[in-house]
């Protein structure tokens, strides 16, 4: 079951404005699209971060990045 919400076209528009891309100061995110998808999943479902499906990566990592 695909949980992805962003089409390639929409991601193409967002990719350049998401913090954490190569070239930004400090460490960059391993997979920015997956992070954005995780945030959208949380917003769509209203679930707590601990219920984030494993396919989005570690919930705590996504939460900490979101909280920053």
pLDDT score for 1: 39
Q: Measured between alpha carbons, how far apart are the two ends of the chain, in Å?
A: 30
3-class SS letters over 1-68 = CCCCCCCHHHHHHHCCCCCCCCCCCCCCCCCHHHHHHHHHHHHHHCCCHHHCCHHHCCHHHHHHHHHC
This prediction has a pTM of: 0.76
The pair of three-digit structure tokens given for residue 23, joined into one six-digit string: 């070239």
pLDDT in tens, 7-34: 889 988 988 887 766 655 455 566 888 8
Query: In the predicted model, what is the mean pLDDT of residues 32-54?
Result: 93
- Measured CA to CA, the distance from residue 39 to residue 47 in angstroms comes to 11
Split at pLDDT 50, 70, 90, the class of 41 is: very high
Q: Is the pLDDT of residue 65 over 90?
A: no
């Amino acid at each position: 079951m695909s949980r992805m919400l962003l089409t390639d076209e929409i991601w193409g528009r967002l990719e350049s404005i998401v913090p954490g891309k190569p070239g930004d100061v400090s460490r960059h995110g391993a997979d920015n699209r997956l992070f954005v998808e995780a945030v959208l999943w949380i917003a769509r479902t209203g679930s707590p971060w601990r219920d984030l499906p494993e396919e989005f990566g570690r919930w705590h990592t996504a939460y900490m990045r979101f909280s920053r």
